[in-house]
Chains A and B, each alone.
Chain A
């Protein structure tokens, strides 16, 4: 700067210098209205199509300016993770920081390039706005601050789960997935935005946000406590749950969903079994109710009900046809997915509450339904789906053709099964993957190589199996042929299976997800195999009911008719689990809770009436 001398009195003509300003543009001139800058943080815009109502914006809002408002008519689908809530903004509180934008899991919220909102007193309500994509004044201003990779604060990437490499796992039944260590568990848990979509989507409404948060806080006991509030099959579901929670997870809309199932497993694996038992027994009714309940089937549904009823002080006896408990989770799911000792732990927690399991007892032959009805205050039937369907194509009854459920049961029971040099599997569900991968392991052990062809009616995009299962089966050397319809089991001169003839499937799933396979006669293949395994549908074996009871009960399209509370048409009998719900571990657990609650209510009312 030029030198300034405060003592310089200056020239008397100095004011004349100011005349130059007449020739200059004024610095304080008014501006015409203009759109704000491209990143401006103006008023909220919300794309209602993309918004799922997860409320994360509300949680991160520094000023509690966001209220989630129910908008009737918008889609509400817990299984897809969609709520009909949309954020409403109180501009008396909002500070336009745009954290709601940066943390929005779906990217539906943005801020507009609009500067001004003002109003007169009677319109003060106009500061409370339910924004949609049209802007606060319905004028089309562009998006200003919006979702951008630079400012995105959602943790989109999942913590990798270490697992055995295909070559390390193929010759054995060791568990594939390692599980998270403490650091990985906490990091994965920290990704959660606590929206609770998982809780809504879960059939048994697990307190997933709570246990995830407890894991993040390194409070494993609290996590286990939260898990046991809704799910006594904690180890099992931590490993093999169908994890609908993850489908609904709001973070999964743009990234990978939180590994909720692995976090549950992580929490369970971190705590000693003895401590788990203590936590699971917390809140148990100390005085016996004097009521006796018989449960048929020691699977997830039956034992969950047993757990609840035992917690409420009832005497529970479970009749199990097999030699061990767990139902399909033990006899259907291979050990590499669910090790037996983990399932034993789950069962032990339940039996430690005093639940008695009578093994090797088949209801219908060893004891009749009528006896149970007469001896107990209530009976719950939860026998699962143990009958494997057959395609009944030509040759399906030949030697060398097997049902997957039966093979899996034998393997789990330690019985030996024939191990073919080449096997052909029919089916595209998880059971098909289970038997394919089980046979692959046995083949590797016995013949040193894997030779399995899996054929399914569905195209690969419509497989009923989990994508993970499909990927892992392929890694293990299983050849998967999609859209192939079984036509005939090929036989040799002795009537033994030598392969399967299939045709290409042409038709597709309709709008309702229904499917009527149509075949292309020109595209025929014969898959060689000295064993053909049918791993298609399963059905419940309800012969145990006996003819009279079958006739007495009401049925609904092949399944026992039950009401919302899982009561059958007989006032002493409840039914739950796969046999009424279709196959799913966590749905069976949910059913177990519902049946137990209904039985408990029924007993309490009967007691009061007596």
Chain B
């Protein structure tokens, strides 16, 4: 589990202090981490029929988490890590999503997909606005890359949602 628990009062303070790339990355890392853990916890709860979906989502989030941890080790990022960054408008929402919702005891595939899509959408918008508010350079490219990653993932989920819910079994 993430170090951040639902309802943890420290989250607001944390956002407020998030003005550097370091902080942005830290929140992003914990965002992906909490998602991974959320899906991982969900695996045994859902029916075995939908388990593949939750497993894939957990795996995907693990991939994102790995990306962020490896980012921290990059030289160019390290150089810029103290750079000041304008706080994007999505900031509040994004940080809220670090706290994961309750999908009920036995969520079905549609509920899980809807949640996952919303989450990816939020992440995408967040990185996009970070990229917009950053001067051209490696940091901007980094945010753009992250936004694209999330957008691609979101689009994959949307296709899956269409195929499962709208076109599945018609």
Contacts and interface: CB of A to CB of B under 8 A. Distances in A.
Interface stretch (B47-55, B70-78, B127-135): B47-55
B168 interface: yes
Interface stretch (A47-55, A234-242, A536-544): A536-544
Residue with the highest number of chain A CB atoms closer than 10 Å, among B158, B162, B165: B162
Contacts of A538: 168-170
Contacts of B167: 429, 464, 515, 536-537
Contacts of B162: 457, 514-517
Interface in A387-406: 389-392
Contact of B110 (A392, A432, A464, A540): A392
Contact of B165 (A430, A536, A553): A536
For chain A, the bracket of interface size reads: 20 to 34
Contacts of A517: 158, 162
A556 B47 CA distance: 13
Interface string B35-54: 00000000000011111110
A515 B155 CA distance: 9
A429 B114 contact: no
For chain B, the bracket of interface size reads: 20 to 34
Contact of B49 (A431, A514, A535, A555): A555
Interface in A520-565: 535-540, 542, 550-551, 553, 555-559
A557 B52 contact: yes
A206 interface: no
B51 to A, nearest CB: 7
A558 B164 contact: yes
Nearest to A553: B48
Given A517-B158, A557-B52, A578 B109 contact: no
B14 interface: no
28 contacts: A385-B169, A389-B110, A389-B165, A389-B166, A391-B166, A429-B170, A430-B170, A432-B170, A514-B159, A514-B162, A514-B163, A515-B159, A515-B167, A517-B158, A517-B162, A536-B167, A537-B169, A539-B168, A542-B49, A550-B48, A555-B49, A555-B51, A555-B52, A556-B52, A558-B50, A558-B53, A558-B109, A583-B170
A427 interface: yes
Interface string B143-170: 0000000000001001101111111111
Contact of A551 (B48, B163, B170): B48
Contacts, number: 79
Interface of B: 47-53, 109-110, 114, 155, 158-159, 161-170
A517 B159 CA distance: 8
B169 A457 contact: no
B48 A537 contact: no
B170 A516 contact: no
Contact of B164 (A537, A540, A553, A583): A537
A389 B47 contact: no
A537 B165 contact: yes
Contacts of A457: 162, 166
What 7 pairs across the A-B complex have the smallest Cβ distances?
A: A429-B170, A538-B169, A516-B158, A537-B168, A385-B169, A514-B159, A516-B159
B96 to A, nearest CB: 20
Interface of A: 385, 389-392, 427, 429-432, 457, 464, 514-517, 535-540, 542, 550-551, 553, 555-559, 578, 582-583
Contacts of A429: 167, 170
Contacts of A542: 49
A417 B12 CA distance: 53
A28 B24 CA distance: 97
Residue with the highest number of chain A CB atoms closer than 10 Å, among B159, B164, B168: B168
A516 B155 contact: yes
A391 B165 contact: yes
A430 B170 CA distance: 7
Contacts of B166: 389, 391, 427, 457, 536-537
A550 B51 CA distance: 11
Contacts of A391: 165-166
Contacts of A553: 48
Nearest to B170: A429
Nearest to A427: B170
Contacts of A582: 168-169
A290 B150 CA distance: 59
Nearest to A543: B47
Contacts of A555: 48-49, 51-52
